[in-house]
Amino acid sequence: MPKTRHKTLVVLFLAGTVVGCAAVPEDPKAQTVTQALAAGTPASGEQVEPGFDRRSELIFQYLLADIAARRGDSQAAAEAMLRAAEISQDPDVVVRAYGLSMQAGHHAPALEMARLLVQLMPDSDRPRVLELQALMALGRPDEFFNTLVEYNNEPGSKPGRNLRRASEILGRSADPSAWLSVMERLAEHYADEPEVHLAHAWLAYKASRPDLAEGALNRALSLHPGWQQVALMKLGQLKKADDRAALSAFTTKFLVEFPDSNDLRLAWARLLTEWGELESALEQFNELAHRLPGNNDAIYASGVLSLEIGDIQNAARWLGRYLELDPDHDQSRLYLAQIAVQEERYDDALAWLRAVTESELYFDAQLRIGAALAAAGRVEEAVDHLVGIVPDSVAEQVRIYLAHEQILRGTRGLDAALSLLDAALADIPDNAELLYARGLVSAQLKFIEKHELDMRRLIELEPDNAHAYNALGYTLADQTDRLDEALTLIEQAIELLPGDPFILDSLGWVHYRLGHTDLAREFLQKAIGIRMDAEIAAHLGEVLWMDGHQDQAREVWQRGRQSDPANPVLQETLRKFDL
């Protein structure tokens, strides 16, 4: 039985129990009621026996409704609860009768229950809301209008809030457009009430009438300039329509006119981040952080975005400030350690990493300690540290092997890294991440056969692994004359992962090797447009150079140098052209 307590029923039931508990086992009427409840039907057919008093009938009808509802018989449940509500006049019972009636599609009795609640609960808004819901379900627009106006005229009523509630109710109808005429009448009736125009706009959007919504929002703003709720609704709808130009123009103008609109500024900053316009997003987050010095979201976002665009000094400042506001935030410590490594402040990085205690980040911090030690030239200490980490799973052991391999690759060369990966795969055979890592190292060592064996095994294990197809295809295109086979593999990769910049780079490179210069340039430009990467820049620059566009090639290579000056592919390409 539901946990909702009904005071009237409880009192009556307890009273009945106290009076007759000793006689219940022998009471034939009580036995008849029990049997009727079990059967889900009244003991005497259509009517309860005349000898039953109102208290017994109330208990009977309530329990009958409860049993019928449990059995999924919504019609019987609604009818029985209506009878219980009429007898009890208890608001909780009436509310339940209303709900069961609406569920059964009995909207007229539900309306009666709502109006009964208006009498029983004169100081509550809830009965009026239920009444409006029933009128909407009955399709009575004139009554809906008149009831709402009457409600708004009651002492202490809040018309603006009531109008917004009414709009929400109408928006849940099967056809919101059928109720636009009612909202238009309300907008005329309350023409000087900003809330009615906001409510009108919301229903117009639900009815797929953005033209009406636009006019209503503009009217709301003329009555209440700078109203953020209206601006946020407009932002949301323009986003839904994917009208970036209109959205940007509206939001920028609004924030210039009403710079204290912090909620709108936050929503706009998040949207800019979603679009990848990181510098513009950072500008908004910075402004918000200055206006609201205690706003953690803005401060943290400013730190993360500053780090993302390479402004590590401001990133450190914002993240340090955030950590002052939230000293337990270990993710900020990881970012600050990353910045310290970039600035070659390795002791500071190790201090940040060793302060991480959060369970979800602790393992990652331990791996980073190894990397920081290696970057500081303390390679033996780094290796000892990684070896000393006790993994909790195979996945963690794999990550330890990969971190170790990275250190060896950077300090002792590719042969040492390959030896480690051979040992790792002997320990964890056929692990996809380890196969992929060993394949890449083999390709760099020009061990084509070993590379191909690993990548084909990986494809066998994971037929949808786009990166495996791409790695094998690129290696064949770059280091062999099996160009048609390479193209097939890379095309399979791009089908699995459309738009991936590294696969587009491979596709451009194989077309360049096949002599398809125009296609090569198209794919490489698309790739670098998605992600500025030194290796992509090396490939695109070479294609441009060979196509007679030396100035453009130099510009692309310069951008690649700024991205990753130590990239071996870019360095080799520049040597090839004596640059």
Q: Would you say residue 437 lies in a domain?
A: no
Examine the fold and report which residue of 111, 138, 165 is the final residue of a domain before the chain moves on: 138
Into how many domains does the chain fold? 2
pLDDT of residue 176: 93
pLDDT of residue 40: 40
What's the angle, vertex CA 195, arms to CA 189 and CA 200, rounded to 5?
A: 70
Q: What percent of the chain has pLDDT over 70?
A: 91
> From CA 234, how far away is CA 150, in angstroms rounded?
31
- What string of H, E and C letters represents the secondary structure of 251-320? HHHHHHHCCCCHHHHHHHHHHHHHCCCHHHHHHHHHHHHHHCCCCHHHHHHHHHHHHHCCCHHHHHHHHH
**CB-based contact 43:32 (threshold 8 Å):** yes
Domain that residue 579 falls in: 496-579
Q: Would you say residue 521 lies in a domain?
A: yes
Q: Would you say residue 153 lies in a domain?
A: no
**pTM (2 decimals)?**
0.72
Say which residues have a Cβ less than 8 Å from residue 164's Cβ, sequence separation at least 6: 195, 198, 199, 202
Say which residues have a Cβ less than 8 Å from residue 404's Cβ, sequence separation at least 6: 370, 383, 386, 387, 420
If we measure between CA atoms, which residue out of 399, 356, 357, 401 comes closest to residue 383?
A: 401
Examine the fold and report which residue of 108, 138, 168 is the final residue of a domain before the chain moves on: 138
Examine the fold and report which residue of 90, 122, 138 is the final residue of a domain before the chain moves on: 138
> From CA 103, how far away is CA 249, in angstroms rounded?
46
Helix axes 432-444, 414-427, angle to 10 degrees: 160
Cα Rg of the chain, angstroms: 36
Q: Would you say residue 94 lies in a domain?
A: yes
Domain CATH code at residue 520: 1.25.40.10
If we measure between CA atoms, which residue out of 50, 59, 65 comes closest to residue 19?
A: 59
pLDDT of residue 579: 81
CB burial of residue 321 (10 Å; 0-12, 13-18, 19+):
middle
Q: Would you say residue 328 lies in a domain?
A: no
pLDDT of residue 13: 36
> From CA 501, how far away is CA 525, in angstroms rounded?
10
3-state secondary structure at position 366: helix
Max CA distance (Å), the chain: 110
Domain CATH code at residue 82: 1.25.40
**CB-based contact 272:282 (threshold 8 Å):** no
- Using the Cα atoms of residue 103, residue 106, residue 108 and residue 113 in order, give the sign of their dihedral: negative
Q: Would you say residue 57 lies in a domain?
A: yes
List, for the chain, all residue ranges whose pLDDT scores fall below the cut of 50: 1-51
Q: Would you say residue 194 lies in a domain?
A: no
